[in-house]
Amino acid sequence: MASKVALSRAAPPSPPQQAAADSARMRREVRDLRAELSNRDRMLTSAPTRKFRILVLDGGGMRGVITARLLARLERKCPGFLAQADMIVGTSTGALCTAQLARGDTPEDLERVYRKHGPQIFAKPGLLAKLSTIGGLAACQFSNKPLEQAMNDSGFSKMTLGELKKKVLITAFDVDGEPAKGMQGKRNSWSAKFFHNFFGGDGEVRVKDAVLASTAAPTYFPLYNGFCDGGVVANHPVMPAVAQAVHPAYGGQKLDDLVVCVIVVIASRAWEHKRFRMPGSILVYVSAGA
């Protein structure tokens, strides 16, 4: 005779018990979710902010070869130094350095350009030329054709600012207010002009046009497209660089997130370099004077 095995079953929870269990489970899930979110918040706030690195190069004519040598030395000491720069800013001869470095050229490439083309760009005028120009007061001492040829030989004949690999800012000073190639509409005369390739900027302007405008030093070179040397407004373009970087429409960076490296080649020991100090900045300077 087969025996019957009684299977015991747990009694189903009553509706109040089920509601209490569901409520406890939901409280646990909410507690776990809050803990996860709090942990994520701590990770986000403790993570270091990505710094925006700016390299600033001043003017100085043929002293740009010293800038190239300094940059080469920095790159050897700190490999990847130039690659980490988010923005390069230059005035006058610093504009030429800016163009080449932003394209991806090395400091050695830059030095070769100065050594190859420098003697033609800065050929000393003869006595007759000095007398006829009254030392540069009646006419310019140099032609900008050798510099334009150097830019063409270096591959900048058609390249635009928008085609450069890094963000740039190149200073100039607008004298005549007439529209230049790649720019729309009439400009304000006797005002600073900052060529840049940020959104809404001068991306369609040729690199060589910006450089030739920035290097048109009064009494040395003629005006270029109505512009003269950027040194008229900012020979050491630190402040324009910072202003561009924090401008909401362009760089959009926070001031505390900027790291600025200023390469300065000066012609006098009396230069008050401390006035260009700012938190987070790196100042590299050398006196080229006696």
Burial label for 208, CB within 10 Å (0-12, 13-18, 19+), is buried
CA distance 7 to 17: 24
Tokens of 155: 């591959």
Tokens of 171: 């200073």
210 phi, psi to nearest 5 deg: -65, -40
CA distance 245 to 169: 10
229 is catalytic: yes
105 is catalytic: no
CA distance 204 to 182: 6
Burial label for 129, CB within 10 Å (0-12, 13-18, 19+), is middle
Within 8 A by CB and 6+ apart from 96, the residues are 64, 90, 110, 113, 151, 211, 215
Tokens of 268: 């006098």
Burial label for 80, CB within 10 Å (0-12, 13-18, 19+), is exposed
Tokens of 235: 């020979």
Q: Which member of 14, 46, 229, 287 is catalytic?
A: 229
DSSP lists the bridge partners of residue 251 as none
Handedness of CA 83, 56, 186, 152 (dihedral sign): negative
Cα 96 versus chain centre, distance: 13
Q: Which member of 23, 41, 92, 189 is catalytic?
A: 92
Point out the residues that are catalytic. Answer: 92, 229
